Structure 1
């Protein structure tokens, strides 16, 4: 009789332990699901262009966590605004997921101006875009190399390759106009100083070619032109013609030349 009672008590206790364990396990699973938002998901809102405070507030309101992972520079977005986000806007994610943000730098990074001289316009344009620079004005000057970069301007000043400039800087290009179809008389440069001759040639759309100084010339800009090729008039007295964009070679000396009278 005693053994039967003891045996019944043991079974009842065992059953109670099992029931209590199952109840505790069920409570744990329910609590865990509630804590981890099991099976709860949201669509990630777009926070691109927002400042960090607004982006954080927006993402938190959707039950999402925020982490700033990187920085970049975009001149078309406000400083310290959101450039990228991951996961992307519209992605469906689990509540509590971390959204990683990239913010826009307050100060643009500095880069070196690439070498554009001698490039055709389309290649120079692609190079500027690849370096994160903006194409500004394109102007033309007489030169036989049509659409070739002759000069690079930053803030209106000629700028050499390798100069450090901010990312997003506007760069203007001076291009060769090419040889024009119309012809003009060759300008007479005899007796001019080289500096003055350059002005006359530019006004006529003609390019300065080779400058050949005499042996005793130390300052070519102040030297005088005593010969040019092509000359303004041929040996038989016919006026020579030249296309805009073509070159004239000049020979310079220290002394003001005297034109010889060829009519005698």
Structure 2
């Protein structure tokens, strides 16, 4: 009995062992409660639901959510759920956070880059990369062939660099190029229509005419 006296070493060791065992038991049960061990729920199918409907359903099953993506689609109802992760029907623990992607309320905006006198091919590629899919090109007179002269919207409004536009905006890219001079061809058609048959009967071929059709050499 002397070994179990209040101040004996064995008594202290037994007390320490008992306290350690109690702490281990409490830790195990605490982790089970914290992680909801053995409690699982099915992820509901929230696709097409509004945010208010989604919130109510998740509250009923004991799940949390976080919106991690928002993409605009003209064919979907704005503000509705587009995708759920984990997938609907998956078994998850109660209280888990699920990730929601929704259909945005408006089209994404992008900033127009600096384009003046830049390569039209480069600017077109850059605009496409930013999401502008509807870009028309028109050739106009300019200093540097193949460079961008200006950028306008489909209704004729000039778009300055740094402007923010919806990516579904229709744009017109004006590119510097060389216009074809058709004056020589126009003169030939006019002379032919005025001369009629007289121009072809008994006339001699002038030095500046070709033998194959009489088109003026200076037009070429």
Q: Identify, as 1 or 2, the structure richer in strand.
A: 1
TM-score if structure 1 supplies the norm length? 0.42
TM-score if structure 2 supplies the norm length? 0.48
